Chains A and B, each alone.
Chain A
């Protein structure tokens, strides 16, 4: 199993550009989540999904969009990048509620 994979590992965007961060898992997990990590802030939940076709907002959803058309994939879309979105982004998945979350390797995004 590859576990949770994320692409790209690094990305630089200009303000106003859009992009999609990719996340995929091959463990047949129902739950998938996106977190962002900022210095001194720990990780904060952006969006999550409890199954294909079902998504909801987390703590910091503004400026981000998600969809879940398959169990395996959970892409995160930045609609119009802003410098405040400079962060490290982690995708995570878990078998179901209350189970351990497995994290991807992260994407470091810089918005100039």
Chain B
């Protein structure tokens, strides 16, 4: 079974600064997908970014980018120019060959301060 580890339970960053959230995973599969989901206080799960393991290029979505290191099984999320609206719980998730089930990490609570 795949496991996803987020080693930072809580993080804090000042507005306009950059923050990196860590995620590592364990799998024996060679092809898979990785995701970062954001959960604001509203509880809604929102997809932030997605990475396909067979693609070498790191995914980016506006202020959000990932550092995908396949050999190290690491998938960190960088948030640039942090905004107050980025305050949320962030979950790293793995999808393997099943194609349907997401394995989630325990989450990192991010607080953006003025």
Q: How many A-B residue pairs have CB under 8 A?
A: 51
B106: interface (CB < 8 Å): yes
Total interface residues on A, using CB and 8 Å?
Answer: 25
Q: Is the CB of B44 within 8 A of A103?
A: yes
Decide: A97 near B44, CB < 8 A? Known: A42-B91, A42-B104: no
Of A31, A43, A50, chain B has the most CB atoms within 10 Å of the CB of A43
Q: Assess whether B101 is in contact with A43, with CB atoms less than 8 Å apart.
A: no
Q: Does B47 contact A (CB under 8 A)?
A: yes
Secondary structure type dominating chain A contacts: strand
Query: Contacting A48 at CB < 8 Å: which of B50, B95, B100?
Result: B100
Contact of A42 among B33, B42, B95, B107 (CB under 8 A): B107
Q: Closest chain B residue to A38 by CB distance? A: B106
Interchain CB contact under 8 A, B43 and A43 = no
Q: Which chain A residues have a beta carbon within 8 Å of chain B's beta carbons?
A: 31, 33, 35, 40-45, 48, 50, 58-59, 88, 90, 92, 94, 96-98, 100-101, 103, 105-106
Q: List 5 A-B contacts (CB under 8 A).
A: A31-B100, A42-B91, A43-B104, A44-B104, A94-B100
